[in-house]
């Protein structure tokens, strides 16, 4: 049992200053103003010194990190997960890019085996399967050898129960309508991406059941005032949330601000699309079947194509604040409650009694000071996988 005191609690109803929050096992037991919430005598007390206590961050698109690539080696998912709390991430979707069926099945087995006995870290919520039903004209860093037409039979067994939580596809392709229907019936979130869809095709796909857009502006036709295309449809559709990579490279800061103004905190999720070089030094790393050259700011194929990012989710949050002028409290839903809503999850991404005790303590500039996952407090600034003092 832990008790946070003197924290600014970021709750759905607003910020509670001088707040207290008590956890018991893996749940939030109680929270509120200091005068209303007694601190149990058996609780380990953590003095927040007036900093923000927010829900743990949720990452919807992560290809790997710390030298590991999920598509190249799906068994690395748990090793990467163990290090993500240093960036405030408490749950995430390991992303498998376009690959052969054997590789995807390997990743599903890795998840079904469950966490190693000694595991402590962020929780994989299921896979984000990015491909293979993509438009070859917008393949990005995906191997064209594995890109195929949408096939409802291939997707028939994909579900959260089998390990698939989100699928990115190009909705304009023949057969996409049937695949969208199958996936939605299975409870999978369907996202539009790596696509040449027209505005009209995109809006029709939203009616079919697409509720998310993968890395807005990237691997999509550019905005055009006469042919608005997928990006404009995603910006306009109130029923559809979007992911965006705010690293200043994938998307210009002005366009991040435009997306913020159009979608707001309830329609915008921050993703990193990070690859194996996240948390590492410049050099050469893997992304699926390709070798990627990484410098201080970007990851690219030999022809200059962007191949994921080296962004971290806490840096993405700070960048959003910088690009838009949003406050920390205004920006936080983009990495907490909004991605939880995209996935239809009620007990993560929120601070309330009974919710999972996934928490992150942030200073006023949005830097991670401490992270708790499922009531397990094991990251403190400068210390990873160690009990906080």
Same domain, 170 and 34: no
Residues 259 and 338 in one domain: yes
pLDDT at position 379 is 79
Does some domain include residue 259?
yes
Is there a contact between 362 and 369 (Cβ–Cβ < 8 Å)?
yes
Please report, for the domain that includes residue 140, its CATH number.
3.20.20.140
Query: In this structure, are residues 275 and 64 in contact, taking their beta carbons and an 8 Å threshold?
Result: yes
Torsion, Cα of 96, 90, 189, 205 (10° steps)? -90
Active site residue 365: no
How far, in Å, CA of 337 to CA of 343, rounded?
10
Whole-angstrom distance, CA of residue 372 vs CA of residue 22: 12
Taking residue 383's Cβ as centre, other Cβ atoms within 10 Å add up to 13
DSSP 83-109: TGGGGTEEEEEEEEES--HHHHHHHHH
DSSP-assigned beta bridge partners for residue 20: 5, 32
User: What average pLDDT does the segment 80-101 reach?
Assistant: 96
> 209 and 64: one domain?
yes
The verdict on residue 387 lying in a domain is no
Say which residues have a Cβ less than 8 Å from residue 78's Cβ, sequence separation at least 6.
110, 115, 116, 119, 121, 124
Q: Is 119 found in the same domain as 6? A: no
Q: pLDDT tens across 17-51, in order? A: 999 999 999 999 999 999 999 999 999 999 999 99
The CATH code of the domain that includes 355 is 2.30.40.10
3-state secondary structure of 296: coil
Tell me which of 69, 72, 247, 273 is the catalytic residue: 273
- For residue 380, the Cα-to-chain-centroid distance in whole angstroms is 22
- For residues 150 and 50, state if they share a domain: no
Which pTM value belongs to this model? 0.95
Question: Which domain range does residue 40 map to?
Answer: 2-54+349-380
**35 & 135 share domain:** no
User: What total number of domains does the chain contain?
Assistant: 2
What distance in Å separates the CA atoms of residue 137 and residue 310, rounded to the nearest whole number?
24
Domain identity same for 319 and 330: yes
User: Which of residues 307 and 371 earns the better pLDDT score?
Assistant: 371
* Alpha-carbon torsion (207, 213, 217, 221), positive or negative: negative
User: How far apart, in whole angstroms, are the C-alpha atoms of residue 294 and residue 67?
Assistant: 12
Q: Are residues 135 and 9 in the same domain?
A: no
Are 192 and 222 in the same domain?
A: yes
| Residue 6, token pair as written in the block | 């003197």
Residues 248 and 140 in one domain: yes
Those residues with Cβ within 8 angstroms of residue 36's Cβ, 6 or more apart along the chain or in another chain: none
Residue 234 falls inside a structural domain:
yes
At 204 the three-state DSSP class reads helix
Q: Quick check: is 189 in a domain?
A: yes
Q: Six-digit token pair at 91?
A: 């749950």
Q: What is the pLDDT of residues 316-357, one digit of tens each?
A: 999 999 999 999 999 999 999 999 999 999 999 999 999 999
Is the Cβ–Cβ distance between 335 and 266 less than 8 Å? no
Mean pLDDT of the chain: 95
Same domain, 180 and 32: no
Got the DSSP string for 154-174?
Answer: HHTT-STTTTEEEEEE-TTST
Name the helix (H) or strand (E) containing 230. Answer: helix 229-236
pLDDT given for residue 117 in this prediction: 86
Average pLDDT over residues 375-382: 82
Does residue 385 fall inside a structural domain? no
Domain assignment of residue 389, yes or no: no
Above pLDDT 70, what percent of the chain?
98
Domain match, 134 and 160 both: yes
Residue 121 lies in a domain: yes
Burial of 212 (0-12, 13-18, 19+ CB in 10 A): buried
- The SS3 call for residue 22 is strand
- Tens of pLDDT, residue by residue over 157-215, are 999 999 999 999 999 999 999 999 999 999 999 999 999 999 999 999 999 999 999 99
Q: Is pLDDT at 385 greater than 80 in this prediction?
A: no
């Amino acid at each position: 049992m832990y008790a946070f005191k003197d924290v600014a609690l970021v709750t759905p109803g607003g910020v509670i200053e001088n707040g207290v929050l008590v956890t018991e096992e893996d749940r939030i037991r109680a929270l509120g103003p200091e005068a209303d919430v007694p601190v149990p005598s058996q609780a380990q007390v953590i003095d927040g010194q007036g900093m923000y206590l927010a829900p743990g961050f949720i990452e919807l698109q992560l290809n790997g990190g710390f030298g590991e690539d999920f598509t190249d080696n799906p068994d690395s998912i748990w090793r990467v997960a163990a290090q993500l709390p240093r960036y405030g991430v408490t749950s995430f979707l390991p992303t498998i890019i376009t690959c052969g069926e054997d590789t995807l099945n390997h990743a599903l087995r890795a998840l079904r085996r469950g966490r190693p006995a000694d595991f402590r870290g962020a929780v994989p919520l299921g896979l984000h399967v990015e491909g293979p039903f993509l438009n070859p004209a917008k393949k990005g860093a995906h191997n064209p050898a594995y890109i195929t037409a949408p096939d409802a039979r291939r997707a028939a067994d994909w579900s959260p129960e089998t390990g698939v939580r989100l699928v990115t596809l190009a909705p304009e392709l023949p057969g996409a309508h049937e695949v969208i229907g199958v996936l939605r019936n299975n409870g999978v979130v369907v996202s539009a991406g790596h696509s040449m869809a027209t505005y009209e095709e995109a809006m029709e796909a939203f009616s079919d059941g697409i509720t998310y857009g993968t890395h807005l502006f990237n691997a999509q036709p550019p905005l055009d005032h006469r042919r608005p295309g997928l990006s404009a449809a995603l910006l306009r559709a109130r029923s559809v949330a979007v992911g965006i990579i705010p690293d200043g490279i994938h998307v210009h800061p002005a366009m991040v601000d435009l997306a913020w103004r159009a979608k707001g905190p309830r329609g915008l999720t921050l993703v990193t699309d990070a690859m194996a070089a996240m948390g590492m030094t410049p050099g050469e790393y893997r992304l699926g079947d390709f070798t990627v050259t990484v410098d201080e700011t970007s990851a690219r194929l030999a022809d200059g194509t962007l191949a994921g990012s080296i962004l971290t989710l806490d840096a993405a949050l700070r960048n959003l604040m910088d690009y838009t002028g949003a406050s920390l409290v205004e920006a936080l839903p983009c990495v907490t409650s909004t991605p939880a809503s995209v996935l239809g999850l009620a007990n993560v991404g929120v601070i309330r009694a009974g919710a999972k005790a996934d928490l992150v303590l942030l200073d006023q500039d949005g830097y991670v000071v401490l992270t708790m996952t499922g009531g397990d407090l094991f990251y403190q600034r400068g210390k990873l996988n160690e009990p906080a003092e």
